[in-house]
Amino acid sequence: MTIESSTDVTLIADLHINGRWVAGESGDRFPVIDPASGRSIASFAIASDADCTNAIEAASAVLPSWSSTPPRVRSELLTRTFQILKAEREALAEIIVRENGKAFSDALGEADYATEFFRWFAEEAVRVAGDFRLSPSGDKHILVTHQPIGVSLLITPWNFPAAMATRKIAPALAAGCTVVLKPARETPLTAAYVVDALRRAGAPDGVVNLVTPVPTGPAIARMLHHPAVRKVSFTGSTEVGRILLREAADNVVSASMELGGNAPFIVLPGADIEAAVQGALVAKMRNGGSACTAANRFYVHSSVSAAFTKAVTAELSRFQVGPGIDRENQLGALVSVGERDKVAELVDVAVSEGATVALGGESSAEGAFYSATVLTGVQHGGTITGTEIFGPVTAIVEYDDVDEAVRMANDTIYGLIAYVYGETGQALSVARRIDAGMVAVNRAVLSDPAAPFGGMKQSGLGREGSSEGILEFLEEKYIGIEL
């Protein structure tokens, strides 16, 4: 195991193949950058094609024994992992902050959310239901059971490096699948820490593997053509999701996709403005706006828009920006200077299209920081309302007619999440008309391991968490029994 650390926490920066931490066949490494300082904090092993194949074959070799391990035993592994990560939440949060840049409070929130997937799927592992009934003609019994889908390739993004990994690993293992995890290049250290927690909890060799090929695309395409791989579960951009769906088609690999979002945040005329403002701050600023669930477009009724905008701007002007590792900071760095510059460019384009910067709009001289920003006078149909911002920018569009707000909210290829603030009856009726997999009514946080997370339209296929999450890693099997 290679350990290189500039912090108090031990960083693991190797591949995990067949139960061992290895440097990889080539010995090549890539730097992991702390976006708050721009400095390298570790150099992570690069997985060669042979390393990726070894990982798949290790997962494949242990699949028969893992899938026939009693559900209770699989459940207990997840419970032990839950306990380890719960006890080490501060360490996990620190690694998240170091490589992702987010505020420490966001990282702790993520660590807790991530850890809960192990508890939830430890509970689900022993609750997979089947069916047994008589056929309508009376000629047979219909027995419906489930079996694990097989070796699963899990590909995760950098914005929630712990939670996106655990949301896939926990249900896969609960179902009896074995996995190869490919974390984002920006945030492999968090993934390695989670994998090591599973190893320490007693995961058998080969059940959980981790590889980091560079470049990603061709290596993943090759892995999706390995005959042992039967599942790909991906969280990331819609653009990459489309590529993976095409690659998965050749071997008809089952695909679960959590893709991009473009969340509307609708403030209805009867909304409690104080609640809507507090909700807006959370829905927008959690994770510095780098979330597929982040509120992306604020549609605020003209009767309340002045009060809403004034209050949001005042609150955001007090937001403390700086390195996430300093716990008083509420807004950390974006994951990289490149991502920060994309946000800055979107703001510039919005201004050229007629928006006004009411607050912020500034990039830092050092580190990948962008100030909390409010844009007013934004027109629906412009670049910023059609793009996932992934940064701390509140873009406010004023509207007069609720039907028009619903139409604008649905005017997107995405359909992940929407937020609605208003009098309950009206808010619920608007929620029902929004084409999104998730709608938050008078609240700003929806993610919960016990609830189905997923999108409609081009935001994805399938659901994670809840009782559906484990089904993504199971195949239904029908056995007909002659009477």
Known catalytic residues?
258, 292
CA 301, CA 154: separation in Å to the nearest integer? Answer: 41
Contacting range for ligand ADP; rule: CB under 6 A; set: 153-161, 297-305, 352-360, 415-423: 153-161
Q: Least CB distance from residue 185 to ligand ADP, whole Å?
A: 5
155 counts as binding ligand ADP under rule CB under 6 A: yes
Task: Considering the complex, state which of residue 97 and residue 396 has its C-beta at the smaller distance from ligand ADP.
Answer: 97
Out of 82, 104, 158, 399, point to the residue binding ligand ADP (CB under 6 A): 158
Q: Does 336 bind ligand ADP (CB under 6 A)?
A: no
393 is a contact residue toward ligand ADP (CB under 6 A): no
DSSP states along 33-47: EETTTTEEEEEEEPB
Q: How far is the CB of 435 from ligand ADP (least distance, A)?
A: 22
* CA–CA separation, 195 and 176 (whole Å): 17
3-state secondary structure of 219: helix
Give yes or no for a contact between 44 and 30, defined as CB atoms under 8 angstroms apart. Answer: yes
Determine the interface stretch with ligand ADP among 58-66, 146-154, 200-208, 233-241 (rule: CB under 6 A). 233-241
> Binding of ligand ADP at residue 181 (CB under 6 A)?
no
- CB of residue 237 to ligand ADP, shortest distance in Å: 3
HEC readout, 159-205 = CCCCHHHHHHHHHHHHHCCCEEEECCCCCHHHHHHHHHHHHHHCCCC
Give dist(CA 421, CA 79) in Å, integer.
37
Distances (CA, A) of 435 to 313, 414, 480: 29, 9, 39
CA–CA distance, 394 with 476 (Å, rounded to integer): 44
Over the range 200-234, which residues count as b (16 or more CB within 10 Å of their CB) and which as e? ebebeebbbbbbbbeeeeebbeebbebebbbbbbb
Residue 157 or 279: the one with the smaller Cβ distance to ligand ADP is: 157
Q: How far is the CB of 481 from ligand ADP (least distance, A)?
A: 43
Q: Provide the strand spans (E) within 322-386.
A: 356-359, 373-376
455/65 Cα distance (integer angstroms): 34
Q: Which residue is nearest to ligand ADP (CB)?
A: 236
Choosing from 150, 157, 176, 465, the residue that interacts with ligand ADP (CB under 6 A) is: 157
Considering only residues 191 to 230 of the shown chain, the ones binding ligand ADP according to CB under 6 A are 216-217, 220
Residue 160 within binding range of ligand ADP, rule CB under 6 A: no
As a whole number of angstroms, the distance between CA 350 and CA 345 comes to 9
Interface with ligand ADP, residue 67, by CB under 6 A: no
> Pick from 207, 244, 440, 470: which binds ligand ADP (CB under 6 A)?
244
- Interface with ligand ADP, residue 391, by CB under 6 A: no
Binding residues among 45-64 for ligand ADP as defined by CB under 6 A: none
User: Is residue 104 a contact point for ligand ADP (CB under 6 A)?
Assistant: no
Strand pairing of 29-34 and 39-45?
antiparallel
When the beta carbons of 59 and 244 are compared against ligand ADP, the nearer one is: 244
Is 243 near ligand ADP (CB under 6 A)? Answer: yes
Under the binding rule (CB under 6 A), the answer on residue 43 touching ligand ADP is no
- Could you list the residues that contact ligand ADP (CB under 6 A)? 155-158, 182, 184-185, 216-217, 220, 236-237, 240, 243-244
